[in-house]
Amino acid sequence: MARKPMMAGNWKMNNTVGEAVVLTQEISNQYEKEWPESVEIVICPPYVDLKPAKTVLDFDKTKIAVGAQNVYWESKGAYTGEISVPMIKEIGCACSIVGHSERRELFGETNEDVNRKVKALVEGGLYAIVCVGESLAVRDEGTTDEYVTAQVRAAFAGVDASDAAGCVVAYEPIWAIGTGRTATPEQAEAVCAAIRATLAELFGGEAAEEMRVLYGGSMNPGNVEGLLAQPNIDGGLIGGASLKCESFVQLIEACL
Ligand code: PEP
């Protein structure tokens, strides 16, 4: 079974509620009812924008899913500042990004934290978009595949194949995020193929063939075609280019 590509927009800490409603409405206005046959679309706004964005999409009956950018593994309690899986689930989120390199670098998120978050999401019936990726130092050392596949193993430790099969892995080389410097299609494909081989080792070939592996890192309408042409790249996790309706829609249309 061919994997359906995914375009997921990571808005990061951008857009107030008012701005989020405008951008979601702009995307919804461009929505074509043929899209869902060919591409799965997700937007991941900041927490405060999740409900307003979901309301716009539900009102328009637009088949674009909403996801969080992060989630905590406990379901409730004295965890000031955190947001749980049941909370994002009630809003109607389908998923959450976990382990984004900005969270790992700026907020000290560890592989163990990522694993707890993946488990909490799948136990709650949501899926995880698990971000992995190497720094420039790791790439220069020549240990990218080992580094990235170790992140994949750690993220999915103790997760069974049926839960993992619904999850998505996003390969995001840190040196390509927000820098305008994209991995070449060949560089991205090599790591995405190594990720899929690791998923096959962990969960068997069938689950690994079902799981989507995305590329993220300065993906834009100018470079998307070459990246999507690679056999192990099933779409994109998009930062900057997801903040403008026009470029995000162009990326969606590249999947059709
Ligand atoms: C990201 O942060 O997930 C990302 C891929 O950002 P950008 O597209 O801006 O490089």
| Residue 253 maps to a domain | no
Reported as a single tens digit per residue, the pLDDT across 183-230 is: 999 999 999 999 999 999 999 999 999 999 999 999 999 999 999 999
| Residue 38 maps to a domain | no
Instruction: Provide the number of structural domains found in the chain.
Output: 1
The catalytic residue among 100, 102, 109, 134 is 100
239 C-alpha to ligand 1 centroid (Å):
3
Contact of 221 with 241, CB cutoff 8 Å: yes
Atom of ligand 1 nearest to the CA of 242: 8
| Residue 1 maps to a domain | no
Name the average pLDDT for the chain.
97
Question: Confidence band (pLDDT; 50, 70, 90) for 169?
Answer: very high
Regarding the beta carbon of 240 and ligand 1, being less than 6 Å apart is answered: yes
Give the pLDDT mean for 232-239. Answer: 98
CATH number, domain with residue 77 = 3.20.20.70
Instruction: Let me know if 158 is exposed, middle or buried by CB neighbors in 10 A (0-12, 13-18, 19+).
Output: exposed
Atom of ligand 1 nearest to the CA of 100: 3
Name the closest-CA residue to atom 3, ligand 1: 239
Atom of ligand 1 nearest to the CA of 12: 2
Concerning whether 40 is annotated as a catalytic residue, the answer is no
Supply the pLDDT for residue 1.
Answer: 53
Name the closest-CA residue to atom 8, ligand 1: 239
Concerning whether 172 is annotated as a catalytic residue, the answer is yes
Regarding the beta carbon of 172 and ligand 1, being less than 6 Å apart is answered: yes
In this prediction the pTM is: 0.97
Domain residue limits at 104 = 6-28+46-244
Supply the pLDDT for residue 252.
Answer: 98
Regarding the beta carbon of 213 and ligand 1, being less than 6 Å apart is answered: no
Tell me the β-bridge partners of 236: 7, 215
Supply the pLDDT for residue 178.
Answer: 86
Contact of 119 with 159, CB cutoff 8 Å: yes
Name the closest-CA residue to atom 7, ligand 1: 239
The catalytic residue among 40, 134, 172, 189 is 172
Reported as a single tens digit per residue, the pLDDT across 10-67 is: 999 999 999 999 999 999 999 999 999 999 999 999 999 999 999 999 999 999 999 9
Atom of ligand 1 nearest to the CA of 241: 8
Q: Select from 100, 218, 220, 251 the residue to mutate for testing ligand 1; criterion: most ligand atoms less than 8 Å from CB.
A: 218
Which residue intervals of the chain are DSSP H helices?
17-30, 35-38, 47-60, 85-91, 101-107, 111-123, 136-141, 144-155, 161-164, 185-203, 205-210, 224-228, 245-253
11 C-alpha to ligand 1 centroid (Å):
9
| Residue 59 maps to a domain | yes
